Structure 1
Amino acid sequence: MSDWEAGLEDEEAGAVMRTVVRQLKLWRESAGLTQAEFGAAIGYGEELVSSVERGRRIPRPEYLDSADEALGAGGRIAALKQDVAEVRYPKKVRDLKKLEAEAVELGAYNNSVIHGLLQTEEYARAVFNAHRPVLTEDEVEQQVAARLARQGILDLMTGRRVFSFVQCESTLLRPMGGRMAMRQQLERLLEVARLRNVDLQVLPLDREVNSGTGGSFRLLKLKGGATVAFSESPLSSRVTADPKETTVLDIRYGALRAQALSPQDSLPLIEKVLGETRK
């Protein structure tokens, strides 16, 4: 459970974990079990049970399932899995996920890597493995899991959101994770590009004008009418709802969409690059 160490620097995660810990401890004590006895009943050591009950470790889903069964909780402990899964991810990921869930329209330009919502698991892992200073294996897996967890919003059945992505052609040519991983990633792009609520455009490298040289960014238009912008730099990411800034990025994104190939013309280019990976 090393990759489920609790990072409770933010108030929301701390509040959720305190509730979960309190429930686990109450159920165990009501059953008259010591931590050692409870650990033996669910297949974990006393030290781990103690770490969970002190809020130092986030219990995995299988831990909660075993606890529910051993304590006869009738699903009440297992029901905590959803809340626990959310606080496993870093706060900035949870905040971004909430904004994306509230958005009715999302537009994103990327000039370094494939957008996170479009990444395959292997591609995402290669992106995080490329970080310098290096991330630990546990940190990489945590970030990959968090990224994949956000991708459900692309499903048309879960909402009527509209998505627009502009990818610089360079992101298609850079073989993150190797040829096989990149081949799978390009196939994923073609799959997503055919969704009715997604427009995927490629900005060719031979374009004389590129309004996105300042870096990647995304715009989220929320249900209430507000627009939120999210931009990234090498050392930080920034969210702003200041109309002066979001208007600038909105204009820039409109220019990028005009400079890029249309969604229909972008598909053949992606297919061409995919064909090159098969040679």
Structure 2
Amino acid sequence: MSEPTRQSEDEDPGEAAPDPGSGILRVFGRQLKRFRIRAGVERTEMGARLGYSASTIAAYEQGRRVPPPRFIDQADDLLDAGEVLKEMKEEVARAQYPAFFRDAAKLEAEAVELHVYDTHIVNGLLQTEEYARAVFTMRRPLLSEETIDERVQARLARQSTFTRQPLPTTSFVIEESVLTRPLGGANVMRGQLEHLLLCGQRRNVDIQVMPNGREEHAGLAGPFTLIETIEGRRIAYVEAYKHSRLYTERQSVRELEEQYGLLRAQALTPRESLEIIEKLLGAT
């Protein structure tokens, strides 16, 4: 890749209309139905044996809902699908993400280094379930309850990046204003601050807070993520309304790397940052 991939200006990163991700769901659904019929299993029987309603099985077969990984594993075993369904699990999981984020999610899951700057909300990799639900509930245009559930579970699944091997090096610079904005209410924000303290204690995670009172600031253009792959490729992801994109051209990536280096120098140290999070927690 040498050019930035960008989202069409006609697309909305809020509630995506039918997109390429729905194709894999339809393909998976057809395969699921084919194996179910071949095995002579009715939807009601399959649902009862796996703990799902017949209507949910129908939704999976029709490509209207994203089946969780656990269901795919169980269905493959039950229907003796020879791991055909299991082999589709990764692509099916990516369909949970809005279209504009899918390529970035794949790179994130394989990265050896992730460096993130956030200005409006806590990054998805650091969010609690309650905070993530509040974020998606507030999004406009409104998301359906089903879409909110899928997006929350997808966001939580991304957090496995902190425990996979080899451990990726991750760092976050977060604006102090993000930590004082009580999205979802005081209890939700308290849980989120507690979670940040736990994340900040991981060996491979550095969290730095950019104080509101700083007179020098290198990140006024907005949030971004820097990704390094195991092959040594360096990529930048910049998310903005209707213009989210991946940058692979070296000059563009280098400019954001320079910004991030300055941001880390201007922000509080990781230890100082955890201390200020503790103080904010005490004030909630």
- Residues 66-145 of structure 1 aligned to structure 2 (within 5 Å): 69=78, 73=80, 79=86, 82-83=89-90, 84-145=92-153
1:68/1:77 contact within 8 Å kept: no
Say yes or no: does 1:251 pair with 2:255: no
1:166/1:200 contact within 8 Å kept: yes
Say yes or no: does 1:9 pair with 2:9: no
Q: 2:197 aligns with which of 183, 187, 190?
A: 190
Encode CA deviations 1:154-213: one digit per residue, 9 max, x unaligned: 12x532210110001001100011111000100111101111111110010011111111
- The alignment's C-alpha RMSD in Å is 2.9
1:53, distance to aligned residue in structure 2 (A): 4.2
| Cα gap change, 1:53 to 1:266, in 2 (>3 Å) | closer
Distance 1:189 1:131 in 2: 23
1:17/1:58 contact within 8 Å kept: no
Output the amino acid matched with 1:42.
M
1:166 alignment counterpart: 173
1:105, distance to aligned residue in structure 2 (A): 1.0
RCO greater where, 1 or 2, for CA within 8 Å and sep 6 or more? Answer: 2
1:249, distance to aligned residue in structure 2 (A): 0.4
Q: 2:34 aligns with which of 1, 25, 32?
A: 25
| Cα gap change, 1:171 to 1:56, in 2 (>3 Å) | closer
Say yes or no: does 1:270 pair with 2:274: no
Distance 2:31 2:211 in 1: 55
2:173/2:264 contact within 8 Å kept: yes
| Cα gap change, 1:113 to 1:56, in 2 (>3 Å) | closer
Q: 2:45 aligns with which of 30, 41, 51?
A: 41
1:150 alignment counterpart: 158
| Cα gap change, 1:127 to 1:56, in 2 (>3 Å) | closer
1:126/1:176 contact within 8 Å kept: yes
Distance 2:160 2:72 in 1: 25
Encode CA deviations 1:57-110: one digit per residue, 9 max, x unaligned: 5556558747854x5x38858846834444344444442221012221111111
1:133, distance to aligned residue in structure 2 (A): 1.9
1:3 alignment counterpart: none
2:218 alignment counterpart: 211
| Cα gap change, 1:107 to 1:136, in 2 (>3 Å) | same
Distance 1:184 1:176 in 2: 11
Which protein shows a greater Rg?
Answer: 1
2:35/2:81 contact within 8 Å kept: no
Q: How many residue pairs get matched?
A: 261
1:175 alignment counterpart: 182
Distance 2:72 2:173 in 1: 42
TM value normalised by structure 1 = 0.81
Structure 1's unaligned 5+ residue stretches are: 1-6
Output the amino acid matched with 2:123.
H
Identity over aligned residues, as a percent? 39
1:257, distance to aligned residue in structure 2 (A): 0.4
1:130, distance to aligned residue in structure 2 (A): 1.7
Q: Which has the higher helix share?
A: 1
Structure 2's unaligned 5+ residue stretches are: 1-16, 48-52
Output the amino acid matched with 2:242.
L
2:112/2:228 contact within 8 Å kept: yes
TM value normalised by structure 2 = 0.80
Could you tell which deviates more after superposition, 254-263 or 14-23? 14-23
Distance 1:235 1:20 in 2: 30
Output the amino acid matched with 1:199.
D
2:43/2:58 contact within 8 Å kept: no
1:107/1:218 contact within 8 Å kept: yes
1:237 alignment counterpart: 244
- Residues 57-68 of structure 1 aligned to structure 2 (within 5 Å): 57-59=65-67, 61-62=70-71, 65=74
